[in-house]
Amino acid sequence: MSTLRNRAAVTGIGETPYTRGTDKSALRLTLEASLTAIADAGLTPRDIDGIVAYASGAVVAEDLLTNFGSHDFRFSATTPLGGASAVAALQCATMAVSTGVATHVLVPLGRDGYSGARIHRRLGQMRQFHVVSEFEAPVGANAPAQYYAPMARRHMELYGTTSEQFAEVARTMRRHATLNDNALMRTPMTVADHQASRMIADPFRLLDCCLESDGGAAVVVSGADHAMDMPRPRVLLSGMGVGHPDSPSAITQRPDMTRLGLAKAAPRAFEMAGVTHADIDVAEIYDCFTYTVICQLEDLGFCAKGEGGPFVEGGRIGLGGVLPTNTHGGLLSQAHVAGLNHVVELVRQLRGDCGARQVDNAEVGLVTGYGDLGDGSIAIMHRD
């Protein structure tokens, strides 16, 4: 049977500085990150013959083609999975380059999420959200914190998960961010700081919620054979998957609110990659809220459902722990680039380029995405 395993590699990565406040447009931020990633791959913009643009973003492939002066563009797609889009785009790009449809596919993402349209306004306009817009917004559910809080509350009630365990996630991401020059939140945080932060949508406090920020990130995905002759060490895409929740009209309608689409995608990705959980040296897990990290650790299979709270205790997800997680600071403390910053960080870790926050001997890692309605995506990568 044919497989996507090791058929493609991430050959270029790029990020802009992340800010809270910018006079640059989302397109400008996208172009800056793309130029960095394309140069990192040793290519020029005209070598890019495929683009997987961010379905929820302001920038479409045509905007980039116009600026690239492209003459032989061959593949354009989107992966409309909210925050799971960026990682799902890696699978989409792999399908394109492994079949010869395209050679070098760019996955770009730029947003002015702090200075421009705020995220909850964008959500209200997404057609996938019409059940929420019609039935839940009119009674006062108007933002992601309010949609996700009942998932977290149910997890707490069923399994005894605590706010202090959420705090452990938040302070670990913050500790990692203090080691990252391109992270927005670099003041150390204690569990007490977390517990003292104001309540937004119980059980979520302010420090359970991710940032909104301005910036761009981009990666280039190339066929594995081409990648042999490209300048940076090959980081191969070995296992990928996408999973959707049952009844994806609204979070409230899911049969099991505490289980995400990732629970379906993860076993497929691990099987494709031919690795086990013990092989994973570093994990970049989509962290729109602290709770979503705990839930995904369970859905990934690092622990059983309900055991994610205890799993994050004792430094287990910090640098030096058994599963260093979100080594860049994540959406909680680095920046919110819809998880493409998580992809960039995983590649950087597997290249060994992370300096003070480098995981020793990082050879195999995974990155996840989590979309607004529970969509999950995963990519497992390894260095050559």
Partner 1 sequence: MCDTCFSLENEWFTASGLGRVHSWTVCHHAFHRGFASLAPYVLLTVDLAEGVRMVAPMVVPDACRLAIGLPVILDYQDRHDDITVPRFRIHGEDDADG
Binding site for partner 1 (CB under 8 A): 120, 135-143, 145-146, 149-151, 153-154, 157-158, 198-204, 247, 252-253, 257
Residue placing its CB nearer to partner 1 in the complex, 92 or 167: 167
Q: What is the C-alpha separation between 15 and 93, in angstroms, rounded? A: 19
Residue placing its CB nearer to partner 1 in the complex, 224 or 250: 250
Q: How far is the CB of 252 from partner 1 (least distance, A)?
A: 5
Residue placing its CB nearer to partner 1 in the complex, 24 or 254: 254
Distances (CA, A) of 321 to 196, 281, 345: 26, 10, 18
Q: What angle do CA 341, 16, 349 make, to 5 degrees?
A: 40
Residue placing its CB nearer to partner 1 in the complex, 108 or 374: 374
Q: On the CB side of 111, how many CA atoms lie within 13 Å of its CA? A: 23
Cβ atoms of 4 and 240 within 8 Å: the answer is yes
Q: How far is the CB of 258 from partner 1 (least distance, A)?
A: 10
Locate tokens 């995963």: which residue?
A: 378
DSSP label of 359: P
Q: How far is the CB of 220 from partner 1 (least distance, A)?
A: 37
Locate tokens 């992270």: which residue?
A: 183
Q: Which two tokens stand for residue 14?
A: 């790029």
Q: How far is the CB of 201 from partner 1 (least distance, A)?
A: 5
- From the CB of residue 322, how many other CB atoms can be counted at a distance below 10 Å? 14
Residue placing its CB nearer to partner 1 in the complex, 89 or 152: 152
Q: How far is the CB of 301 from partner 1 (least distance, A)?
A: 24
Residue placing its CB nearer to partner 1 in the complex, 153 or 268: 153
Q: How far is the CB of 250 from partner 1 (least distance, A)?
A: 8
SS3 of 211, please? coil
